[in-house]
Amino acid sequence: MKKEIIFKLNDEMVSVTVDSDELLLDVLRDKFGLKSPKRSCGRGECGACSVLLNGKSVRSCIIFAVEVAGQEIITFEGLQKEGMTDLQKSFLEHNSFQCGFCTSGVTITATEFLQKNPKPTVKEIKEALAGNLCRCTGYSSIVDAIYDYTKKKGE
């Protein structure tokens, strides 16, 4: 069933016609050309498709697009409108990625988490990121980058 929805996407009001069973992930990628949320597990288990919904990280592969009518979505693209953020710089310096496929999802999750908890312990970082799967790095470079970023920010 077709529905027209209006929502805020990366600071801009947008409207789009979708089927009621169309996934937010597919709509963002195929109708808005926003390729940062990635298709991977399709079950909300890996975090590669993460976006911010009203400021909270969510899994766009298990959300119907109709659900976000009237809400606010920020994708990875929307986080860096003013260029590379300090968090991204830290990821770059720590090589917190290998293939890079999970990077946008990790960044989305870390962004929400650091807003909530700007001075986390390593353990808290690990807990927050436990739902973002990465097959390449073994995670330690990701955790280090986030921790180092918060240390530098605190200085």
Give CA angle at 85 (84, 88), nearest 5°.
Answer: 85
Provide the residue type at 4 as one letter: E
Residue 148, interface with another protein (CB under 8 A)?
Answer: no
Q: Which stretch binds another protein (CB under 8 A): 8-16, 59-67, 147-155?
A: 59-67
User: If we measure between CA atoms, which residue out of 85, 57, 76, 83 comes closest to residue 152?
Assistant: 85
Residue 7, interface with another protein (CB under 8 A)?
Answer: no
Residue 20, interface with another protein (CB under 8 A)?
Answer: yes
Residue 6, interface with another protein (CB under 8 A)?
Answer: no
Minimum distance of another protein from residue 118's CB (angstroms)? 14
CA 143/CA 138 separation, integer angstroms: 10
Residue 113, interface with another protein (CB under 8 A)?
Answer: yes
CA 114/CA 60 separation, integer angstroms: 20
Q: Contacts with another protein in 37-56 (CB under 8 A)? A: 38-48, 50, 53, 56
Residue 33, interface with another protein (CB under 8 A)?
Answer: yes
CA 101/CA 117 separation, integer angstroms: 25
Binding residues for another protein, rule CB under 8 A, total 78
